[in-house]
Structure 1
Amino acid sequence: MTIQQINSFAAGEWIAPGEGARNIASAVTGDIIASAGNNALDVQGMLDYARNVGGPALRALTFHDRAKMIKALALAISKNKQALYDLSFATGATQSDHMIDIDGGIGTMFVFASKGRREMPDGHVYLDGEVEQLSRHGTFMGQHICTPLQGVAVHINAFNFPVWGMLEKLAPTLLAGVPAIVKPATNSCYVTELAVKIMLDSGILPAGALQLVSGGLGDMLDRLTLQDVVSFTGSAQTALSLRSAPHILENSIRFVAEQDSLNASILGPDAAPGTPEFDLFVKEVQREMTTKAGQKCTAIRRMMVPENHVETVIEALSARLDKTQIGDPKLETTRMGALVSGGQKRDVLEKAAIIGQEAERVYGDPDNFTVDGADAEKGAFVPPMLFHCANPDSAERVHDTEAFGPVSTIMGYRDVNHAIELVNKGQGSLVASVITHDPAVAREVAMGAGAFHGRLYFNNRDSMKESTGHGSPLPHMVHGGPGRAGGGEEMGGVRGVKHYMQRTAIQGSPDILSAIGDKWVPGATETTNKAHPFTRTFHDLKIGDTLHTEPRVVTMEDIEHFAHFTGDTFYAHMDDAAAKRNPFFPGRVAHGYLLLSFAAGMFVEPNEGPVLANTGLDNLRFMKPIEAGETIKVRLTVKKKTPRNEEYGEVRWHVSLTDGEGELVAEYELLTMNAY
């Protein structure tokens, strides 16, 4: 059998394994299939290449440019995913497992690409929050901004998801404008290497944006600076060793950790046998125990069920596990493949034995099980193992020992408070789930357990058809958790991008803030133009372009006509005595929406032109009522511009209505789509 040489990609060159290389065995057959590692890698050269070549190239791109790049990378991987599927079987993963890893990683890239275009500017500075007025008259203001770190992100990934584990870190990193050095776990690095080759061969990435270490990092972490980030996924022990290194601590180097945890699932007290929730709970647990052979950082390790349902759950879960065919992952009939390696198999059996000191194994015998199409002794196969802990209050090891495989422990609870106490005994997890149809139970768990878990997943008959599952981290939501889960946070949309940026408070005049953020700030310079702004294309409009309208008098006839025409005959507009009894009104006043309608009529250019559509308004506020006979004026200012596609972009206008004395009556932001 040919042994594949798994290369590293360093400073623009592919480097073969060398001194310190390690053999990698097939999880299915136990045969040596690959070799990876090279102690002679120039790690300082890799860091310099990322910082001096990759970083400047990425930072020269806007957020939208990077988002388009990420989408193109996802498409490139998607076109070649069959090759990744074929290679991944050797990790012990089934076709269903591949789709979670490979398709899940591709989907994550698409989500970040979309969020980059929709939620971030087509610029280089991300505005974090609203402007703060720091002076009485608004000439001195503050704003928080985020800009890319000028270093490198070192990604240390786990073996269980060689593609998704890389891409869920890489997408927000590249979107932030930071180059990455990826170090996959050696046991499955051959799959990651292929994914990296696909991305590099696509020609989409600028030089230095992505490098790969297949093997050990050497002393790379000792060479990092305050501008660098370490993002780690793996065991709590390894995370502690890395993050507590003196160099990391002395330089306050960002260390994002997502580590093993004792995730749990609670069967609600209302979810009795025979209910949809009971069946759903059993299905979810079985899936989480067997998907990726239980090698998921989010898998269910502990189950809390009402004491009177423990035996019924064991019976129902055992029946479902009986249908889980273990075998060669290439076979269509296989529902659970092998662990990633013989070493992982030994670790799982050792940890299961520790759990067995406090719990009785009620399903699964590692010394007596059947494997279809493969040799159970040569491959890294284990059966699903279910334990029952009769005394969870006094137990310790079931709450602090994770067997990273198809192993889970069931325990009974007396009431919801007791279930919360048990679920929190894990001292921090990535996810806890609650299967209940009772909103009161959900709220009680959220209040009592939320502080101990990075994600709370609630499911029942109403959401089960569309829910993604207990163990599925989604790019829209944060992935991480407190305590033994690592205290880190990944993904979560733009939140995940900010981990690779520096938040800076800027202070200055409105013009200064407008220039830095590329977004007009009230009080900043306005520019008037003879041409009506609605007659000018997206590209012709400039931030700060302003239209001041002629005044309009609001009459009682206007108010009454609007009231009868719309049906809005609220007393403040129609009954003078009642309006005067209201502390907010001096008497009958104009409808707020009448004023908005008048405003539109005052600033709109009616003829066909670049303005294609009004898509809404944001942040509407009414500050002062208008009585019949009073005058209003409108100021319309280009606040922000965001390209949307090849034909048009979004213009955000700041609109303010003032009365005859110049006092603010209403304020909002108008959104239009304008042709280029």
Structure 2
Amino acid sequence: MSDTTTLTSRSELYIAGAWSSDAERAWIEVENPATEQVIGRIPEATARDVDRAVDAAVALHKSGAWRDTTLADRADVLTEIAEGIDKRAADLQALYVTDQGGLSSFAGFTSATASMIFRDTARLASSLDLGPTKRDTPGGSVYISREPSGPVAAIAPWNAPLVLSAVKIAPALLAGCPVVLKISPETPLTLFVLAEVFSEAGLPDGLISFLPGGRDVGQYLISRPGISHISFTGSTAAGQQVMRTAAERMTRLTLELGGKSAALVLDDAEPHDFVASLTRGSVVQTGQVCTTQSRILVPNSREAEWIDALTAAFETLAVGDPSDPSTEVGPLVSQAQVDRVESYVTSARNDGATVLTGGGRPSGPGFDTGYWFLPTLLTNTGPEMRVYREEVFGPVIVIEGYDTLDDGIDAVNDTEFGLGNGIYSPDVDRALALAPRLDSGTVSINTTGACITAPFGGMKMSGFGREGGIEGIEAMLESKQIQLP
């Protein structure tokens, strides 16, 4: 493991193949959300840094130095990056805990997943056919080639910076596209380690740049001429602004946006069999996950059973120091996030909701500092309440009953979002048959989240396009028809 100070404080940014300093850059202070202590600082990218990164990416793409390499050679680079991530796993895991407040018990999963994404994307090189491939059609014979779209602006969110950056970078590079990555200032440190992994790989100048900064940096990046594709993960409101900017230059888009996912519990599901997985799906990463199943829908005939079981499970969750392996719920990322979560609970109370457990900030030893909020379970809510229809992005979950199965499915779909819903039943075939009726890009059966190496994304206001799998690579390619006389 590297020295802690070296990991948390940086003076240079990795741009277009080199580490550089600039006296004009401002500084971003990095906090530990469990203690509120400033643990380091990093430079913030400037407009000049964006220009340099994009210009280098455009120049590289035009030169063909990366675009014209073979898929096998690109795959070898991705495998090398995966190996680099593995070598730095201890550093990445330590930063996940101190920079983000993530649980030490979950940290290994994040670094292993990032490595897996690069390896699996490399594996998919053998499945790609870039052509030109002859195609005989009623209108004539043509050749079809698929070519890299060009430089990609990738914007990763603060809640999963390493994994979601990998999801954007790996397919773009395999497709032949340079990448300019905008890093969130809330949780930037793991991506400096990833930048070091890339810098040690000896890649062409301009292939990838890492730019920490806020919305102004991101907005300037996506509006720059030369960007051919924008891959954005974040809130729906921010995604709408990205879409408006992209429209000015008809820039290609992949948008993975907010969610208000539901867990549909069927009448044959027993609480003792599924309450543990439902609880984990509700509070993983303190609810700061876009696919958090924040609405739990249970049959009215068994609502009392489920309320008792879930309330008991929430009350026994261990809240505290994320570096303690026994902790199950850590801090939120910032004071702003605590205030946001608290406002939703206050609004729900004022609207008549019942707080079954939680509902506020913890007190006592260990909670004098840090950004904490108790796992909270609400009932007596409804579609008219903000907490029921809007994404809270915290450990605040509603549980409500439904009469018939059709009513339950209608309740799942009664939202403007469509990211990831779940079905819970011991009868997997029955759940599979119901999955097409749920309006979301992912449907999880007896679990939560999405498989990151298969195509995932949203419907409705949760965005469009798919990341992961072969589809994530194809999103970075343009099909070209070559017609012969």
TM-score of the two chains, using structure 2 as the length reference: 0.90
| Aligned equivalents of 2:83, 2:13: Cα separation in 1 | 23
Amino acid of the residue matched to residue 473 of structure 2?
V
Given the alignment, which residue of 29, 42, 47 partners 2:54? 47
| Aligned equivalents of 1:368, 1:344: Cα separation in 2 | 15
| Aligned equivalents of 2:84, 2:428: Cα separation in 1 | 44
Change (3 A) 1:30 1:505: same
Amino acid of the residue matched to residue 385 of structure 1?
T
CA contact (8 A) 2:428 2:445 kept: no
Given the alignment, which residue of 389, 396, 399 partners 1:407? 396
Amino acid of the residue matched to residue 241 of structure 2?
S
Q: CA deviation at 1:255?
A: 2.0
CA contact (8 A) 2:465 2:475 kept: no
Q: Which residue of 2 aligns with 1:68?
A: 76
Q: CA deviation at 1:400?
A: 2.4
Q: Which residue of 2 aligns with 1:25?
A: 31
* Percent identity over paired residues: 24
Q: How far does the alpha carbon of each residue in 1:573-623 deviate from its partner, in whole angstroms, 9 at most, with x for none?
A: xxxxxxxxxxxxxxxxxxxxxxxxxxxxxxxxxxxxxxxxxxxxxxxxxxx
Q: Which residue of 2 aligns with 1:321?
A: 314
Amino acid of the residue matched to residue 239 of structure 1?
G
CA contact (8 A) 2:131 2:144 kept: no
Given the alignment, which residue of 236, 247, 250 partners 1:249? 247
Larger Rg: 1
CA contact (8 A) 1:361 1:387 kept: yes
| Aligned equivalents of 1:350, 1:15: Cα separation in 2 | 42
Q: CA deviation at 1:261?
A: 0.5
- Between structures 1 and 2, the one with greater helix share: 2
Q: How far does the alpha carbon of each residue in 1:302-351 deviate from its partner, in whole angstroms, 9 at most, with x for none?
A: 11110122221122122222332111111122222211222222222223
Q: Secondary structure of the equivalent of 2:377?
A: strand
Give matches, 1:296-311, under 5 Å: 296-311=289-304
CA contact (8 A) 1:120 1:126 kept: no
- Larger relative CO (CA 8 A, sep 6+): 1 or 2? 2
| Aligned equivalents of 1:125, 1:4: Cα separation in 2 | 46
CA contact (8 A) 1:349 1:403 kept: no
1:388 aligns with 2:379: yes
Q: CA deviation at 1:441?
A: 4.5
1:474 aligns with 2:472: no
1:486 aligns with 2:463: yes
Q: How far does the alpha carbon of each residue in 1:361-414 deviate from its partner, in whole angstroms, 9 at most, with x for none?
A: 21114244556xx3x232112111111135x3x534244211111121111111
Gaps of 5+ in 2: none
| Aligned equivalents of 2:311, 2:385: Cα separation in 1 | 25
Given the alignment, which residue of 324, 337, 350 partners 2:343? 350
Q: CA deviation at 1:250?
A: 2.5
Q: Secondary structure of the equivalent of 1:178?
A: coil
Q: How far does the alpha carbon of each residue in 1:1-24 deviate from its partner, in whole angstroms, 9 at most, with x for none?
A: 967236422233323474443322
Give matches, 1:374-453, under 5 Å: 374=366, 376-390=367-381, 392=382, 395-438=384-427, 441-442=430-431, 445-449=434-438, 452-453=439-440
CA contact (8 A) 2:234 2:258 kept: yes
CA contact (8 A) 1:224 1:253 kept: no
CA contact (8 A) 1:6 1:189 kept: no
Q: Which residue of 1 aligns with 2:66?
A: 58
CA contact (8 A) 2:444 2:450 kept: no
Q: Secondary structure of the equivalent of 1:47?
A: helix
Q: Which residue of 2 aligns with 1:229?
A: 229
| Aligned equivalents of 1:408, 1:7: Cα separation in 2 | 41
Given the alignment, which residue of 83, 86, 96 partners 1:88? 96
Q: Which residue of 2 aligns with 1:642?
A: none
1:112 aligns with 2:121: yes
| Aligned equivalents of 2:466, 2:21: Cα separation in 1 | 34
Gaps of 5+ in 1: 460-468, 510-676
Amino acid of the residue matched to residue 354 of structure 2?
E
Alignment RMSD (CA, Å): 2.4
Q: Which residue of 2 aligns with 1:189?
A: 188
| Aligned equivalents of 2:352, 2:277: Cα separation in 1 | 24
1:495 aligns with 2:471: yes
Q: CA deviation at 1:57?
A: 2.2
Q: CA deviation at 1:220?
A: 2.3
Change (3 A) 1:142 1:126: closer
TM-score of the two chains, using structure 1 as the length reference: 0.66
Q: CA deviation at 1:161?
A: 1.1
CA contact (8 A) 2:440 2:459 kept: yes
Q: Which residue of 1 aligns with 2:257?
A: 259
| Aligned equivalents of 1:280, 1:199: Cα separation in 2 | 44
Q: Secondary structure of the equivalent of 1:50?
A: helix
CA contact (8 A) 1:355 1:401 kept: no
Q: Secondary structure of the equivalent of 2:461?
A: helix
